[in-house]
Structure 1
Amino acid sequence: MIRLVRELYQYRGLLLSLVQRELKARYRGSFLGFLWTFLNPMLHMMVYALLFTVVMRNNTPNYAYFMFVGLLPWIWFSSSIGGGASAISDRRDLMTKVRFPAQVLPTTVVVTNLCNYVLSLPLMFLMGALYGQWPTWHIIAFPAVVLIQLCFTTALTYILAAVNVTFRDLQHIVMNLMTLWFFATPVLFQLSTIHSERMRMLVGLVNPMSIIITSYQAMFYEHRLPDGEPLLILAVCSVALLWASSSIFEARREEFAESI
């Protein structure tokens, strides 16, 4: 892990260049261009808000804003996992070059989607203002939650990218699993609506994203600090997972050029 971090810092210029290229190329050729960074999450939010406020009658106050708070970090996570799984296998042109730093590719996917998330935050604040939900001092915990999500997402991305090089079906399996994971995460519903305390604890234990999403909801929607103990446990587990995933990635890195 230390070697990986050191090499990422060494190739930070390349990483920044690839992130900039991805941000520019993502909507190149489309009429609205970069505006899709804001329109995509807005359209998602409108569809779910229509479903759960009109059709299924969700009684959560300011439901559209509540959902948007959780939807933005989920899009960052799911887009990173979906794109990161094929980050190595889809870049034969780069991987066959001599001494190309393979770890830059999955990191580029995660950081690019992080940039999209950060760029969408003003839209979330604007929506909050429309509902009378103003940011409070509790957002001081925001950098810590983002860092934990970054660590957790990067760890999963490294594992998936390394395994997908030899098992190409994995990227398709992952995309279907992400749909199931989404509906098991409290993005469209409040965790408090689960009446069983044991079930709420189970959701937190088996679904790390529920801890992250409810932490954002605590800061921006409930105007309180996130629960510290679950976040601390998740932070430790994420670092351990990143350590393990970087070891797996390092062990398989020499095989990438031949396998793809």
Structure 2
Amino acid sequence: MLNYISEILKRKDLLIYLVKSGLKAENRNSYLGYFWWLLDPLLNVIVYYFLVVVILGRGGPDYPVFLVIGLVVWRWINTTVNASAKAITKYTSIINQVYLPKSIFPLSLSITQLFNFCFGLVVIAIFLAIFGYVPGWQLILLPVVILITLIFLIAISLFLSYITVFVRDIDNVLTHVMRLFFYASPIIWEGGRLQNSDLPEQFLVILNMNPVAILLNAYRDILMDQKVPQFLGLFVLTVLSILVIVYMLHHYNKNEHKIIKVL
């Protein structure tokens, strides 16, 4: 296990290269290029604001900020999870020619999407400024929540990238699973806050166990409500994610020959 982690660290140059190439590849053939990292979350906010506020007549004066935080964080989670299914299989030609720790591919993917999320934070900052939100000292906790989100996504990415090598149907199912999480999380509706909840109370217990909801509420607590997030849920999520990461790295170490055989 330690030797395997050491092997990953020796390949840090490759990890950096994969991250850079991943960032360049996302908008390589588009006219606006990297500007899409700012424009995409902004367009999402406009679409859902029109749907919820203009058409359905829901949402209060703080809804645009609530919405932009939810959509930007969700975009990070959704993109990472969906791309994880192909994190290993799309590098089949490289894997069959050179020995590499296979876990380096989902790791690079997770880090790549973290950089994309940083551009989304710029959009959030713009909305906070426009609507007069000034985060308090709790803003120093934002990097902690971002780190917890990254750890969670690395755990998911390591698992999905491995299992999809053997069960390719996972890639097709993920779209529907993520759609379910989208509507089961307080992204476009305000069920994350009890005082504005659109959900019956009996469903709030299930909501509170939803890792996406836990993360979204933490971001909004810091950026909108100027309060310390509920760290119990974040702590449990972090511990479980770290356990999954350790287990998956051990599993990769023991079964990488099976990946090569299948690919």
Q: What is the TM-score with the length of structure 2 in the denominator?
A: 0.92
| Amino acid of the structure 1 residue aligned with 2:142 | F
Q: Where does residue 163 of structure 2 map in the other structure?
A: 163
- Give the drift of 1:29: 2.3
- Give the drift of 1:165: 0.7
- Give the drift of 1:251: 3.2
- Give the drift of 1:132: 0.6
- Give the drift of 1:3: 5.1
Q: Where does residue 68 of structure 2 map in the other structure?
A: 68
Q: Deviations over 1:69-123 (max 9, x none)?
A: 1211211111111111111112111111221221111111111110000122122
Q: Which runs of 4+ in 1 moved over 4 A?
A: 1-5, 194-198
Select the residue among 214, 223, 230 that pairs with 2:217.
Answer: 214
Paired residues of 2:38 and 2:122 also in contact (CA < 8 A): no
Unmatched segments (≥5 aa) in structure 2: none
Is the aligned partner of 1:9 residue 2:13?
no
Is the aligned partner of 1:52 residue 2:16?
no
Measured in 1, the distance between the counterparts of 2:69 and 2:5 equals 30
Select the residue among 179, 196, 203 that pairs with 1:199.
Answer: 203
Paired residues of 2:73 and 2:216 also in contact (CA < 8 A): yes
Are the structure 2 counterparts of residues 8 and 185 from structure 1 closer, same or farther at C-alpha, using a change threshold of 3 Å? farther
Measured in 1, the distance between the counterparts of 2:52 and 2:198 equals 17
Q: Where does residue 243 of structure 2 map in the other structure?
A: 240
Measured in 2, the distance between the counterparts of 1:240 and 1:147 equals 16
Q: Where does residue 227 of structure 1 map in the other structure?
A: 230
Measured in 2, the distance between the counterparts of 1:95 and 1:132 equals 51
Measured in 1, the distance between the counterparts of 2:240 and 2:214 equals 12
- Give the drift of 1:243: 2.0
Q: Where does residue 24 of structure 2 map in the other structure?
A: 24
Measured in 1, the distance between the counterparts of 2:9 and 2:246 equals 17
Q: Where does residue 148 of structure 1 map in the other structure?
A: 148
Measured in 1, the distance between the counterparts of 2:143 and 2:2 equals 22
Measured in 1, the distance between the counterparts of 2:21 and 2:242 equals 29
Measured in 1, the distance between the counterparts of 2:70 and 2:183 equals 12
Paired residues of 2:81 and 2:156 also in contact (CA < 8 A): yes
Overall identity of the aligned pairs, in %: 27
Measured in 2, the distance between the counterparts of 1:177 and 1:53 equals 26
Measured in 2, the distance between the counterparts of 1:4 and 1:159 equals 17
- Give the drift of 1:54: 0.7
Q: What is the TM-score with the length of structure 1 in the denominator?
A: 0.93
Unmatched segments (≥5 aa) in structure 1: none
Measured in 2, the distance between the counterparts of 1:113 and 1:161 equals 15
Measured in 2, the distance between the counterparts of 1:212 and 1:4 equals 31
